[in-house]
Amino acid sequence: MGKEVYFDNHATTPVDPRVVEAMLPYFTEKFGNAASKSHRFGWEAERAVETARRQVAALIGAEAREIVFTSGATESNNLALKGVAERYAGQGDHLITALTEHKAVLDPCRALERRGYRVTYLPVDREGLLDPDDVRKAITPRTILISVMYANNEIGVVQPIAEIGRIAREHGVLFHTDATQAVGKIPVDVNRDAVDLLSLSAHKMYGPKGVGALYVRHRDRQVELAAQMDGGGHERGVRSGTLNVPGIVGLGEACAICQQEMPQEAERLRRLRDRLKTLLESGLEEVYVNGSMERRLPNNLNMSFLYVEADALLVALKDIALSTGSACTSAIPEPSHVLRALHLPEGRAQSAVRFGLGRFNTEEEVDYVAARVIEAVTKLRELSPLYELARGGSPNASGPS
């Protein structure tokens, strides 16, 4: 095609030009500090922040006062988990999460364990789905928080969030979801889903890096958090620090665009994703989708190409941006914890590649990527002794189970 193709939109997305346009004035003529209350420059910045707060809230069915701005979803997750654990330590010391969570949830959980908290890590089935009954059974009188990712960043599987939320509400337990991959891609409503805390990030939905938000329920069930950053009492004392006004404006604009265009965009991406899947399955044998296709983000496809090492395939596709899993763990030369949690055969886990389509991808790019993948997999298999054994019907060949 004469240019690189970007199919790694779960790692990050390009900033929409409309978002850039909205942000630009706040780097130059509208550069005020939103906490400066005595002059026009501060007032302008504060108005821009409050507009963005309403835009973020509208996308997830929240109220503006329930939005706390952060540096991104990792900070939001840390603030939610550690903030709840510290604030409600007198009521309990037990948290529940899933084995397939992002490291931005798993690592804070490990940190809390080192401080004496107990965490239950629930398994998922071979489709990547959590059983709500397992959540119910894991709740104890000491449980204070359940944290389950809305949609997985590697396999795109969408969890039964509303059902888990109802279970949490029935037991009087707070419910947090890392919705970073879901917000802006599929409809998310904190009231429909009975969510008490929700994390999101701008750069996953065509906004800038370095800014995100944490939804903290206030209207019918006031959730309180222990601040993790002190100094100035910004964001109603929950998250101190000078607000990143240009970034917040960008987050707000990105949310407004998603709210307006999400239905059409999701359908277009679903068609492109399904076209890619069909092309790959018709052009290659021994290819497998990882995770549920029925409960999946419209822009996600995670596929295994048996008898081909995923890293070798990515090297052969240097002009195509793909990944083997989370951008936060892609430097680790072993199957991701998400794929291991699905109990995939070793060959499938080691040959898994994530395709993340986005707003600016085209059908022409899908066709190009499919052709290049088919070509590269075919060549790499020609070099694979295991593939030759499998084609010969050897009982020692390592195939799927």
Going along the chain from its start, the domains and CATH numbers come out as: 5-11+261-391 (3.90.1150.10), 17-257 (3.40.640.10)
Confidence grade of residue 330 (pLDDT, cut at 50, 70, 90): very low
Residue 102, pLDDT > 50, answer: yes
Alpha-helical runs (H) found in 7-146: 17-23, 40-60, 73-87, 103-114, 132-138
Asked if 1 and 365 count as a contact pair (C-beta separation under 8 A), the reply is yes
Region of 300 on the Ramachandran plot (φ > 0 left; ψ -120 to 50 alpha; else beta): beta
What does the block give as tokens for 117?
A: 């908290």
Confidence grade of residue 385 (pLDDT, cut at 50, 70, 90): confident
Percent of the chain with pLDDT over 70: 95
Confidence grade of residue 123 (pLDDT, cut at 50, 70, 90): very high
Residue 10, pLDDT > 90, answer: yes
Residue 392 pLDDT:
76
The CB-based long-range contact list for 32-41 (8 Å cut-off, 24+ gap) reads 32/245, 33/242, 33/243, 33/245, 34/242, 34/243, 34/245, 35/232, 35/234, 35/242, 35/243
The predicted model scores a pTM of 0.94
Q: Is 37 helix (H, G, I), strand (E, B) or coil?
A: coil
Residue 397, pLDDT > 80, answer: no
Residue 386 pLDDT:
82
Question: Dmax of the chain from CA atoms?
Answer: 80
Average pLDDT over residues 42-64: 97
Has 328 been annotated as catalytic? yes
Give the integer Cα–Cα distance in Å for 205 and 212: 11
Give the integer Cα–Cα distance in Å for 333 and 391: 28
What does the block give as tokens for 225?
A: 């958090």
Give the integer Cα–Cα distance in Å for 101 and 106: 6
10 Å CB burial of residue 212 (0-12, 13-18, 19+) is buried
How do strand 67-70 and strand 212-216 relate by DSSP bridges?
antiparallel
What does the block give as tokens for 221?
A: 């069930």
Confidence grade of residue 69 (pLDDT, cut at 50, 70, 90): very high
Which of the following is catalytic: 109, 255, 258, 328?
328
Amino acid identity of residue 348, one-letter, is: R
Residue 395 pLDDT:
42
Confidence grade of residue 36 (pLDDT, cut at 50, 70, 90): very high
Give the integer Cα–Cα distance in Å for 356 and 298: 9
Asked if 341 and 323 count as a contact pair (C-beta separation under 8 A), the reply is no
Tens digits of per-residue pLDDT, 51-61? 999 999 999 99
